[in-house]
Amino acid sequence: MVKQPEYSISPAGIEHCQFVIDHRSIQQEAGLNRQAFVRIQVVATGELSQLTREFVVGHVIKVSGFLNRHESRNGNSLLVVHASQLEKIN
């Protein structure tokens, strides 16, 4: 995790948590190794949001979920992971 979680409550009373992670890996492309890097925003909702209260910057986290598009305050499209599972890796 590279950015501390931020919490909010929806008008329906559901807690949402947003934080940022970095993904780094080596992938095969056209028979060659390629370094992959992406910094991406994660949204955790409801009970998953509660799990993030134990997370701090620097923790290694495994995130599973789906990709979705969000619109930023300035109208730009952002790719966001909506978490369905979170796991802190020791």
pTM beyond 0.75: the answer is yes
First-to-final CA distance of the chain: 13
H helices present in 1-90, as ranges: 47-51
CATH for 3-89 is: 2.40.50.140
At residue 65, does pLDDT exceed 90?
yes
Segment 1-28, tens digit of pLDDT: 898 899 999 999 999 999 999 999 999 9
DSSP string, 16-32: EEEEEEEEEEEEEETTE
pLDDT given at position 33:
97
Task: Show me where the domains of the chain are located.
Answer: 3-89
List, for residues 66-88, the tens digit of each pLDDT value: 999 998 889 999 999 999 999 99
Question: Residue 90 pLDDT more than 80?
Answer: no
Q: Quote the distance between the C-alpha of residue 51 and its chain's center.
A: 13
In angstroms, rounded to a whole number, what is the distance separating the alpha carbons of residues 9 and 25? 34
> β-strands 32-45, 15-29: how paired?
antiparallel
pLDDT at 81: 96
